[in-house]
A = this chain, B = another copy of it.
Amino acid sequence: MDKLEKTLESRTVRPTAMRLLVLKFLLQKKVAVSLTNIEEYFDNSERTTLYRTLKTFEENGIVHQIDDGTGTIKYAVCEENCNCELEQDLHLHFYCNNCDETVCLTEYKIPHINLPEGYLAENVNLVIKGLCEKCSGH
């Protein structure tokens, strides 16, 4: 059986043709992708199907959403045995102002943040914007 299929089935997601293609596409990309990116990549694709595909992936821990502040949600495949947990899996995301690409810096976990008395953290989003390695010129 195909490796892609295994990935989906291990997450109890039925491996349809489109889902396999989307997963393959996500895996080969080194940067986070938007719904529109995917729609543009596949010629005869239905936006709604892709939308629900990503939603299903996300609900089953295959991908995580990235809100990089551009107004468009991006998606990236989760690491092996990721649970998208605070102070565990949550990592830094970097958006390049020049090439307009967003990447997961999975090695860079979000540091623990002290909060005022009474505040309870459930989720954290940390996005750094600037120039990526390709665009900074050094």
Residues of A within 8 A of B (CB): 67, 69, 92, 94, 97, 105, 107-108, 111, 113-133, 136, 138
Contacts and interface: CB of A to CB of B under 8 A. Distances in A.
Contact of A131 (B113, B122, B127): B122
Contacts of A117: 133
A125 B129 CA distance: 8
A64 to B, nearest CB: 13
A69 B125 contact: yes
Given A67-B69, A124-B127, A113 B108 contact: yes
Given A69-B67, A115-B94, A116-B105, A129 B133 contact: no
14 contacts: A67-B69, A69-B125, A105-B116, A107-B116, A108-B115, A111-B113, A113-B126, A116-B133, A119-B131, A123-B129, A124-B127, A125-B128, A126-B126, A126-B127
Which of the listed residues A113, A120, A136 has the most CB atoms from chain B within 10 Å of its own CB? A120
A132 B113 contact: no
Contacts of A114: 108
